[in-house]
Amino acid sequence: MNDTSIIRVAILDDDNEFQEILCDVLNKSEGFKCVATYHNCNEALEKIEEDLPDILLLDIEMPEKSGIESLREIKYAFPALVIMMLTVYCDSEKIFRSLQGGAVGYLLKKTPTIKLLQAIREALDGGAPFSGEVARKVLQYFQMPDNRLNTSLLSDREKQVLNELIEGHGTKAIADKLFVSLHTVRFHLHNIYKKLHVNSRAEAIAKALKNKFA
């Protein structure tokens, strides 16, 4: 991030009222600053390099170009930018397409402010935050026989960590729940990614849904 004391947030959404409310909430929250609001993909692509956000909150349903299409283009242009979906949609295909396109998390717009701010921090810390409804849907499809990842090579502890990951928990939450250190969780995550041939939490979860929509 640019300044470790301030998290710089940009919003891509065609709803002006929602943009204004969210931007105001961010600016009134300690440690956060809304540095930009964009109404379409092209505007974002033109201004992101100048605005230098740490994270982009991206809606899905927009005119001209959908959020998922925008996600792919923005991620291609700015691969290091952390992008999290913030939408009203909770269907599995949109979740899968978003994760496949490079989003690190998926939150619903009705998410309470405290949880949204926590999710932003978690995303920037390498986590994969999800709203409760989204996490349950991901877990539901993850457990379906035709969508299961090949977990036969994983140890029992790695399977525990993977299950916590699918439920949307961050590194610290997993460590606290399993009574292990952050270093141990990161070690297990590294092994999980290697064995499942993925590079991130979002990829692991996307792979869990892949057979359903690919």
Domain(s) of CATH 3.40.50.2300: residues in the chain: 7-130
CA angle, residues 67, 36, 95, in degrees to nearest 5: 25
Domain(s) of CATH 1.10.10.10: residues in the chain: 138-213
3-class SS at 30?
coil
Residues near 204 by beta carbon (within 8 Å), at least 6 away in sequence = 149, 162, 165, 166, 192, 193, 196, 198
Residues near 98 by beta carbon (within 8 Å), at least 6 away in sequence = 60, 67, 68, 71, 85, 106
Distance separating alpha carbons of residues 61 and 117, to the nearest angstrom = 22
Q: Output the tens digit of pLDDT for each of the chain's 214 residues.
A: 455 589 999 999 999 999 999 999 999 999 999 999 999 999 999 999 999 999 999 999 887 788 999 999 999 999 999 999 999 888 877 887 888 788 888 889 998 999 899 889 988 887 778 777 776 666 565 555 555 555 567 788 988 887 787 676 778 888 899 999 888 988 888 787 777 776 666 666 666 555 443 3
Choose among 69, 82, 177: nearest CA to 120: 82
Instruction: Judge if pTM exceeds 0.75.
Output: no
Assess if CATH 1.10.10.10 describes domain 138-213. Answer: yes
Taking the mean position of all CA atoms in its chain, how far away is CA 10? 14
Contact between residue 94 and residue 87 where contact means Cβ atoms under 8 Å apart:
yes
What CATH class is the domain 7-130?
alpha beta
3-class SS at 25?
helix
Q: How many Cβ atoms sit within 10 Å of the Cβ of residue 132?
A: 13
Tell me what pLDDT residue 159 has.
81
Structure tokens at 106: 């998926």
Q: Long-range contacts made by residues 193-197, C-beta under 8 angstroms, separation at least 24?
A: 195/153, 195/154, 195/158, 196/149, 196/150, 196/151
Tell me what pLDDT residue 9 has.
97
Tell me what pLDDT residue 141 has.
57
